[in-house]
Amino acid sequence: MGRPSAKKSKTLRQATKKSGQRDPMVSQAAVVPRPGPFIPPEILSMILDELLDEFDDVRDERPQLSILARTSRLLQVEAERRLYERVRFPVGEPEAQKIAAILQSRAAPYVRFLGIENYGVVRRRGRTTNRTVSALPFARMTNLSSLYVTFDSGVDFTFTDNVDPELFRLLDRDLAPNILQTFANSLPVPPSYLHFLERQPCLECISSNYNLEKLEESELAFSPATHPYLVELEGSSLDEKMLALMHRNRIRRLRIFVNFMLPENWALYTTHLVRLDVLTCQLGPVKLCEVVRCCPRLQILEFTVAPQWNFLTDMDIFDILRLLPELRVCAITLAFFDDFFERMIYACSKCEKLESFLVVVGVLAFELLSTGQKTGDLDKDWEHRRLQDFDVTIWTGWQDARIEDLPVQSVSSFPLAAHLYP
């Protein structure tokens, strides 16, 4: 009996393969895969915009982006770029290990906002290094624009010697120059830890905490010559370190979290100030008058109403605020909604250019928005809305962008700065 034809065919294919000749039974299309269609990145971005348009909350977008990054080669790069644009790195947690692995592999260039949480004292021996800041590839984060560092709430930082210098050494060694625009740090660090900022001339906002009784002016690495774009400062108190920075730079936006005490020569530091945010600090009539007198260019003012205002029946805050000719946004904090609140609602029209008036009580907020009309009728002149679970830091960022004509991308949806100082 002869050999089966199927076996002959197999032997022929093997012989053909050995001789290097093309197998006539295998199509050329199977050997050379066809390239996929080229789609411009702008079109891919528009496709993702349409897919994500149905989500109102950014947090709802992230699971969908993760699915697209894993299942679509066409959309993988754009999905990952958006997914890792904002990264939280919780030091010491298992999640940090996963984040570090992804950043090391391919996602580091996508990071624009980085929040390092639970940072604290010098690392203990035996602690997994891929859960610490040493696992972060700072050298490859070439698009990093905002860096936030928050402390471990379970650690007592009585002395600056307790603070682990590792992060600041890595930043000084690896971080690319001329990329950082915002730096926020709640740890009590000496100025020597911040030498890496000397190579960041594009810095626009600094929120930092110094724990020194006296800070030499030579230790301040910021001046109009070295950091011409530095326009915003945040700190726990308006002390001599903060005033020294204000004196040497053209500061336009100032936020104080804990202790707002006006110096005698306050007017010398506020020449360029357009936004003063002391929403967690009380202003009585005397202090508010001094703020208005020394800050004639203010366009945004936020403060807590001091108890003294409740005893003044012939005067309200807008009798003073009307003296600010450029005031467009005002936000106040009250202990509760009462008669004083109703008085302020009707008095806010005294400010000619006021566009937004916000009243915050706990987690609730009530906002009045000007319609542009001046009829004297509250319902016609103002739109009003009630806000719940309100983040005033993000709201302030939107006001900054709107008034100073900043790009919307500069408003961080990464509100760590609001929790830097408890």
pLDDT at 135: 92
Those residues whose C-beta lies under 8 Å from the C-beta of residue 161, and which sit 6 or more positions away, are none
pLDDT at 420: 41
- The DSSP secondary-structure symbol of 420 reads S
pLDDT at 26: 47
**What CA–CA distances, in Å, run from 241 to 104, 214, 291, 317?**
37, 8, 20, 30
Token readout for 314 is 């012939």
pLDDT at 113: 94
Those residues whose C-beta lies under 8 Å from the C-beta of residue 292, and which sit 6 or more positions away, are 298, 320, 321, 323, 324
pLDDT at 248: 81
Q: Which residues pair with 205 in a beta bridge?
A: 182, 232
Distance CA 265, CA 242 (A): 14
**What CA–CA distances, in Å, run from 233 to 6, 196, 201, 260, 400?**
81, 18, 15, 14, 14
pLDDT at 64: 76
| DSSP letter for each residue of 158-208 | SSGGGB--HHHHHHHHHSPSS---EEEEEEEE-GGGGGGGGG-TT--EEEE
Q: Which residues pair with 388 in a beta bridge?
A: 364
pLDDT at 170: 95
Q: Which stretches of the chain score pLDDT less than 50?
A: 1, 6-13, 15-17, 26-30, 125-126, 157-159, 211-214, 408-422
pLDDT at 65: 78
pLDDT at 195: 87
pLDDT at 154: 55
pLDDT at 43: 82
pLDDT at 33: 52
Rg (alpha carbons) of the chain, rounded to whole number: 29
Are residues 87 and 113 in contact, defined by beta-carbon separation less than 8 angstroms? yes
Q: What is the pLDDT of residues 108-131, one digit of tens each?
A: 999 999 999 988 765 554 455 566
pLDDT at 361: 87
Q: What is the pLDDT of residues 380-401, one digit of tens each?
A: 999 988 887 778 888 888 888 8
pLDDT at 136: 94
Q: What is the pLDDT of residues 187-245, one digit of tens each?
A: 878 778 888 998 999 999 988 765 444 455 556 567 777 888 888 998 888 877 788 88
